[in-house]
């Protein structure tokens, strides 16, 4: 079955997420990609099909956390802005807690993101 990867980036990190996706596009094409709303619309600019969830502040992080709890996500790449303050901080913390609870791989920077993408998708047929 195809792996599902979730992509999430705070505003200050969206350019970094698009660059990350371009760097890993060939591997990501082997997966189902889901993303929080605004991140997903940026990622779609690469041509990769992306299923959009709600925007993060409107519940998108919570939707992805729920999928992680249901074991419907194989890995999450979440580039957080370490300098930003967010009204939906409880949702962000909840997503990270759920990943730890269910042992879902979660990367918060490109170096770890690469390891997750390679680990999950390198052996998958394209
Ligand atoms: O806020 C986010 C993650 O906490 C990201 O949401 P957007 O992708 O909708 O900007």
Name the catalytic one among 11, 61, 81, 100.
61
79-115: b or e for each residue (b if 16 or more CB lie within 10 Å)? bbeeeeeeebeebbebbbebbeeeebbbbbebeebbe
Q: How do residues 74-114 score in pLDDT, each as one tens digit?
A: 999 999 998 888 999 999 999 999 999 999 999 999 999 99
Do the Cβ atoms of 29 and 126 come closer than 8 Å?
yes
Alpha helices (runs of H) in the chain, residue ranges in sequence order:
14-23, 25-28, 37-44, 60-69, 89-102, 110-121
61 is catalytic: yes
pLDDT of residue 3: 98
The answer to whether 46 is annotated as binding is: no
**Does a structural domain hold residue 6?**
yes
Is there a domain that residue 115 lies in?
A: yes
pLDDT digits (tens, 9 = 90+) for 57-75: 999 999 999 999 999 999 9
For the chain, the straight-line distance linking the first and the last C-alpha, in angstroms and rounded, comes to 12
Q: Is residue 125 part of a domain?
A: no
Q: Report how far residue 67's alpha carbon sits from residue 110's, in angstroms, rounded to the nearest whole number.
A: 22
Number of domain units in the chain:
1
Would you say the ipTM is above 0.95? yes
Mutate to test the pocket of ligand 1, among 17, 33, 55, 107 (most ligand atoms within 8 A of CB): 55
**Domain extent at residue 109:** 2-71+82-119
Q: Is 57 within the bounds of a domain?
A: yes
- Residue 40 Cα: closest atom of ligand 1: 8
- What CATH number is attached to the domain comprising 60? 3.40.50.1380
Task: Indicate whether 126 belongs to any domain.
Answer: no
Sign for the CA dihedral angle at 13, 15, 16, 17 comes to: positive
How far does residue 84's CA lie from ligand 1's centre (Å)? 12
The model's pLDDT over 19-51, given as tens digits with 9 standing for 90+, comes to 999 999 999 999 999 999 999 999 999 999 999
Pocket test of ligand 1: the residue of 6, 7, 8, 54 to mutate, having most ligand atoms within 8 Å of its CB, is 8
What is the Å distance from ligand 1's center to 67 Cα?
Answer: 16
């Amino acid at each position: 079955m195809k792996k599902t990867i979730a992509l999430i980036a705070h505003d200050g990190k969206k350019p970094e997420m698009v660059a990350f996706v371009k760097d890993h596009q060939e591997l990501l094409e082997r997966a189902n990609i889901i993303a929080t709303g605004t991140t997903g619309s940026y990622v779609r600019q690469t041509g990769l099909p992306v299923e959009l969830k709600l925007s993060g502040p409107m519940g998108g992080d919570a939707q992805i956390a729920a999928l992680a709890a249901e074991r419907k996500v194989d890995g999450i790449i979440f580039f957080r802005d370490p300098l930003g303050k967010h009204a939906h901080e409880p949702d962000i913390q909840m997503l990270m807690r759920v990943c730890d609870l269910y042992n879902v791989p979660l990367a918060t920077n490109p170096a770890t993101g690469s390891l997750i993408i390679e680990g999950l998708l390198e052996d998958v047929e394209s």
